[in-house]
Structure 1
């Protein structure tokens, strides 16, 4: 037992057991905590794709803080930029004052990300989390169109502040609101009603019928890959149909790229190969490159109808996050980086398909896209059992989907191939153990 000795110069020292970090957290932190319940480990350090616990045990990270550290932990290039900025007394927090760090990020984002993709967006720095970016996008769409309803889709997840929560489909999240969540039209996502039903065409029928009760919305908000909803992937044809419908109705198209963006679905923006150009794009999670809080709403220039200060937030001037984001963008100037993502995605898909054939035939199928992928099980509890098996073998992962029936695999975009192989071997062994 670890012992701490209280200082008392007038009486003999009394041995006092040290309280463990985990017991302290469990006793003092709110009951709202979730991830730590299924992973009772105290992490102390992190390097690249490895997390280390108090005893120095390494866990290969197939979660990446829900996609907020896509470049791994303490990436050397990003970390050096952050340390150099802090040691030079760079300004850290500035509301929306102009700073060199902000200007450098905007320059790199325009020149390396937007311009090569022939995209023109203004950048709104919102509050520091993804739900802030969603709130800003929806508010701006309503302001621009002078309409209230917004179309959101089944199994969507857009955040837990009230406006974003109204758009979210997850029942357990919604019931915690305590108030009415309205002004949302819920439509079925691509494939929700089966492969034979074109839900985009169904939506068009409903909006074109003057007696359907469906009023023209301010916007359609969609994830091209539904992360928390179960790794459901929108097809290019479906998304293009939704984009055309939005345009025909005078509504805006919002793509929530908070989890699927920043390379998670293969390209910097998840919609790049899908033949659409959204009116508004929401980014957060890995946009800062380092896990620091940062969120953006990208706005087509003609839609930027905000009045000064009409939507703000104290922490929209997180300059350290701007520095990390600028450093992360450097990787996207190199074509080899995207090729590396594609190679790792192929490695993962190959193993997942082999696992389904050898150990899980009829019980699971591969879902998702690129490094945003996993296995959907017929029996929901199976995903959690395999996740726990991976955890025992030193790999950190999570489940998702309406019934947590999907095992989600989200390694760093630049995970060393030997660690990727090792993590996938743990997955294979866990699946084999489950099948026995």
Structure 2
């Protein structure tokens, strides 16, 4: 009876909006590296990584020890935008390790604790700087759950939750939206040049170089270069939402590095703190910094424990070791997924991804859900993505070992087999 009551408290008190707990009926208790453990001690291999917020795994000792030392010294925990030692150390490390070597000249704005806060600040700043209202987004985009972010998000279900009209945006086709056909960027350019197109002159374009929540769609480097060139020629600010794909998820620290572009504004969050602590940044070219003091703020933008772990996480980025390892591990994952797909050509539509983010797209969305359920039963955590949940998405920690990746991929293969058998 006591155990039933413990489980029932979630049903009794927690809102119907909960989602992950419905798919994974376990009460998790501890976590280390690439594994979580429930309260009964059962281990789960993590190919979810906090939806990309745990690129360095759970409770990495390098980050944990730095955080524990900081807290044990009665150091500052909450500071809004006051000057603190922890913030200074993070800024210095970020400039030395990330911005400086890439010759990126960005000012740093602390917009609030989450990725959607970084996006809201970027949209607001773009409109303030240009004096224009419209922002161009793309099909299958996901930028957050607050109203401005939802307005440039593609998913109909998530947009519907807003309860109000989501305006001042226009949606254009993402790269390969209609398959391997010519880019639709000339359509956007033609609309910009044609006074009869009905398109209000945009302030900015916001894009993910790799759409995670939208179904693991990868934009080609040439398409991104063409988009950046279009924005420059037509005086549009280019915003890259690197909330999930930044901090090394695709290989380099920023996902746009592969294309060789330099956005006007960059949104970062999720694995920025390295430890799953809430933290977000909006990076902006210095000339765009037209904010009046306090014009955009938030109570929890001074997350000093997150500054501590974020600075420690940047130690992983001294040299090219992590980037090279992520690329190599990504190839191992791709090869395994190709083998799985070859054995299930009748149900698997496509394998797509880069670095350590991969998607297995199923022709039948109910099958992807069944695969996730079978994987959970076998001790593997994965989520689904795409407008119909048709894509099984793999986001293992970047620190996963080759053996852990092989173990998870073997479970995935077994789960696909089991799900297909159940569906027959």
TM range (shorter): over 0.9
Shift of 1:362: 5.8
Partner of 1:241: 226
- SS of the aligned residue for 1:418 comes to helix
Which of 315, 319, 330 is the matching residue for 1:345?
A: 330
Shift of 1:242: 1.3
Q: Is the 8 A contact 1:158 1:164 kept in 2?
A: yes
Q: Is the 8 A contact 2:250 2:326 kept in 1?
A: no
Q: Is the 8 A contact 1:154 1:187 kept in 2?
A: yes
Q: Is the 8 A contact 1:22 1:40 kept in 2?
A: no
Partner of 2:161: 176
Cα displacement string for residues 112-171 of structure 1 (whole angstroms, at most 9, x for unaligned residues): 011111111111011100000000001000011000000011111111111111111111
Which of 19, 32, 39 is the matching residue for 1:34?
A: 19
Shift of 1:19: 4.7
Q: Is the 8 A contact 2:126 2:203 kept in 1?
A: yes
Partner of 2:34: 49
Which of 76, 93, 112 is the matching residue for 1:108?
A: 93
Matched, 1:74 2:64: no
Q: Distance in 1 between matches of 2:277 and 2:5?
A: 27
Shift of 1:317: 0.4
Task: Please identify, of 197-206 and 271-280, the stretch whose mean Cα deviation from structure 2 is larger.
Answer: 197-206
Partner of 1:128: 113
| Superposition map of 1:417-432 within 5 A | 417-432=402-417
Shift of 1:260: 0.7
Partner of 1:364: 349
The 3 A distance-change label for structure 1 pair 191 and 96 is same
Partner of 2:369: 384
| Superposition map of 1:249-398 within 5 A | 249-360=234-345, 363-398=348-383
- SS of the aligned residue for 1:182 comes to coil
Q: Distance in 2 between matches of 1:265 and 1:342?
A: 8
Matched, 1:232 2:209: no
Shift of 1:27: 1.1
Cα displacement string for residues 340-377 of structure 1 (whole angstroms, at most 9, x for unaligned residues): 21121111111000101123456332112111112111
Q: Is the 8 A contact 2:218 2:353 kept in 1?
A: yes
Partner of 1:8: none
Number of corresponding residues:
421
Q: Distance in 2 between matches of 1:180 and 1:270?
A: 32
Shift of 1:275: 2.1
Shift of 1:194: 2.6
Shift of 1:20: 4.1
Where in structure 1 do 4 or more consecutive aligned residues deviate above 2 Å? 17-22, 358-364, 432-436
Cα displacement string for residues 293-317 of structure 1 (whole angstroms, at most 9, x for unaligned residues): 0000001111111111110000000
Shift of 1:197: 3.3
Q: Is the 8 A contact 1:288 1:322 kept in 2?
A: yes
Q: Is the 8 A contact 2:215 2:386 kept in 1?
A: yes
Q: Is the 8 A contact 1:352 1:374 kept in 2?
A: no
Q: Is the 8 A contact 1:376 1:405 kept in 2?
A: yes
Shift of 1:267: 1.0
Partner of 1:91: 76
Q: Distance in 1 between matches of 2:412 and 2:3?
A: 36
Partner of 2:50: 65
TM-score, length basis structure 2:
0.97
Cα displacement string for residues 222-263 of structure 1 (whole angstroms, at most 9, x for unaligned residues): 000111100011111111111111112211000000001111
Q: Distance in 2 between matches of 1:435 and 1:160?
A: 34
Which of 380, 404, 411 is the matching residue for 2:396?
A: 411
- SS of the aligned residue for 1:387 comes to helix
